[in-house]
Amino acid sequence: MTTAREIMTGDAECVTTGDTLVDAARKMRDLEVGALPICGEDHRLKGIITDRDIVVHCVAEGGDPSTIKVETLAEGKPVTIGADDSVEEALHTMAQHNVRRLPVIDGHELIGMVSQADIAKNLPEDKVGELVEAISGAPPNS
C-alpha cells in the first residue's frame, strides 16, 4: 500500500495567520505553488489559502491585499490526510471534499502536501479518472 507520506511534497512551507495576502501571494510566486498551508502561532494548521482565494475573496471584492490578513480566509477546519493513510484514502478524501490539495499530518505536525497530480502519478488509470470526475464534476476527457 502506497501512503501519503511516500507521494507527498515534503517540507511544506506555511504562511502565518498574521501574514497579509500580498505576503502569501509572493510566497506562492517564489515557491511556484498555487496554495499554501496557513499555520498559527502554535505552528498548527489553521487552513489553506490558494491563489484563487486571494483573487476571488479579496481582489475581485475591491479589497486591499496588502492590509488583509491571511487569517480572514482560514475558514472552518482544514481537510487533511494522515501521513500513513493510503493513496486511495487520499483520493476518497479529495473527492468527498472536492479539493485538489491535502495537507499531510503526522500526529499534529504538518509534514507535507499531496496534490491531485501526486495522486494521479501513483494510481492506476481507472482510479485517476474517478479522481478527475469527482473533483471537476465532469467526466474525464470532457
SS3 46: strand
69 sits in the region (left: phi over 0; alpha: psi -120 to 50; else beta) called: beta
d(CA 81, CA 94): 9
Residue type, 98: N
Backbone angles phi, psi at 93, to 5 degrees: -65, -45
Q: Could you state, in order of their start, the residue ranges of all structural domains in the chain?
A: 4-136
Bridge-based pairing state of the strands 109-115 and 9-10 = antiparallel
pLDDT at 48: 92
* 94 closest CA partner among 1, 2, 4: 4
Low-confidence ranges of the chain (pLDDT < 50): 138-142
Res 4: pLDDT: 94
Question: Mind listing the pLDDT tens digit for each residue in 29-50?
Answer: 999 988 999 998 877 888 999 9
E strand or H helix at 110: strand 109-115
Query: Which pLDDT belongs to residue 128?
Result: 65
Q: Does domain 4-136 have CATH number 3.30.750.24?
A: no
What is the grid cell recorded at 109?
505536525
Q: 3-class DSSP state for residue 12?
A: coil
Residue 123, C-beta contacts closer than 8 angstroms, at least 6 positions apart = 87, 88, 91, 131
Q: Which residue has the cell 505536525?
A: 109
